[in-house]
Structure 1
Amino acid sequence: MRSFKAMRGLLGKWMETLLLLCFLCAELVPPASGSDQIEVCVPEGSDAILNCSPSHKTDLRSKMFDWKKDGQMEVFFYSNENHYSNGLSGQDPQFKGRVSLFEDQLEHGNASIHINNTRLSDSGNYSCIFPRLNSQEEIFFVQLVIQPIFRDRSAENRDAVSKIHTEILDSTDAGVPLKCEVHDAFPEPEVWWEDNEGKKCPASETRISKRGGQYDITITANVTKTANNLFFCVVRQKKIHHEKREKIYVPEKMFLVCKDHTWPVIEAGLIGGLIGVPIGGLIVGLVTPAVMWIKKRHEPGSKQG
């Protein structure tokens, strides 16, 4: 029994040693050529360059290579000077007319491609495949990450707010009220007013209601005169990276009306001051002698008439 336990213990230590050796060997073996994945990050709408160059810088003008997205989508195919940019068919419609290579760099072993006007759908894993390069296959991997920006997506996303109602209300002492309304919105948007320089206008009133999972939002803001009197109602849906802006111009005369509202108050103050001073002086002039006369009559020794 003891010998069995001892053998079991030795076997356990031997297995641990073997696993450690396997781990060390795996760490020492270099990765296969082109197996490392490169990450490329660009903002949506900008251009992206996906690099691919064989290890031996072979002249690629008479070679064949194929760029694929996510293992199956045809991005760009090249074979002995024939490719998608000069009439070859088979390219996925998503990339048609947007992908090119650096033809003057092919002889130096550069098979990189250029994708212009990137879209969110371009994000993914790309592979640059050389099926018969120096009698063997070589594959290079690139992960493309498209960073979304806020822009108008109403033409491509049915959930994106497409209609914004704006209105100029009657002028007040606080400025010109601008009203912005959004109806049946989902996901819930943020709504605000801003001037032509992008400065937010504080809201004087905000109303939000929800019906059947959709939102109705009304924002009112009092604005004052600017250099061009242009203002924008901005609607932003963060979840779908959608932003729509509606421009409105406030006529100069609207701000003049605001000033006119303050004149009655100013005029009343001026008139009150102009009238009050003479009347006050008159009252003082009449009251003071009367007080002095009454005081004198009550002094001791004064004659009562």
Structure 2
Amino acid sequence: MASIGQIIFGSMIFLIVVISGLIIFILAIAFSVSQGTVESSSPSIVGNLGQDVVMYCRFLTNNGNGQYDDVSITWQKDGLSGVVYEYKKKAAQLQGQNVQFRNRVQLFPDVIYTGNASLLLRSVRWEDVGVYRCSVSAPKISGTTSIDLKVAAFSAPTFTRQKEGSLTAEAQRWFPQPNVSWLSQSGELLNSSTQYSNNSADIKQVVSVYEGPVKADDTYTCLIQNSLVKAVSEATVTGNGVTGKTYFIFNAASTKVSNFQLLLTVILILSVIQKT
């Protein structure tokens, strides 16, 4: 006759075996349902008011291979009824589309088969702010990723060298209202003054002046920044005037816009424009 200790020990072994089998079974089901991922290279982005923005979504198998013919893609926005965009059976399915996005959104059908489910949103508005979800169902792939879209107004400044030796930067559209500072070529903070005026809908025109005097062949940096966007503009004084270049850093994504990402955005947008 088995002792109480033996009975307890045997029961524990039995429970361990059952629980282990259950875990293996659950993992097997999960693996059989989805052997891939759905992800975004920019889970938080800033759209420029009135301009187009691409929300990136990509799906791929765990081994990174494959071309996908049978794909369902659904874009939704948190807190909003209906869909932003839906794609099934190689065609748009817009019967349940929310009116806010009618004639304003587009996938890139020529690259869906490669695993690209990115969404083009045209002419960004304030009410477009929110969390968007890209859901994909394809052979061996099922998943959702989210993109947090924020909206601001921003533009690169143009530079003018004044006769008295000062340097002026003028940017036409910023919101929220930014702060402006100037740096010398060595990184020293320079004396400057900035004025703001309203365009439309409280969007600010920014005019900032570095008192100078500027020196030929020197480069001066003008920083225009608010809570969402920073414009880093380098102005190089030449014999004929001033040359400037600007790149943007988005605080929501905490990343500098790469040339590759800008190129990819342009290519995707142009591919849609050519077909419309």
Q: What range is the shorter-chain TM-score in?
A: 0.3 to 0.5
The structure whose RCO (Cα within 8 Å, separation 6+) is larger is: 2
Instruction: Provide the TM-score with structure 1 as the length reference.
Output: 0.39
Instruction: Provide the TM-score with structure 2 as the length reference.
Output: 0.42
Tell me which protein shows more helix as a share of its residues: 1
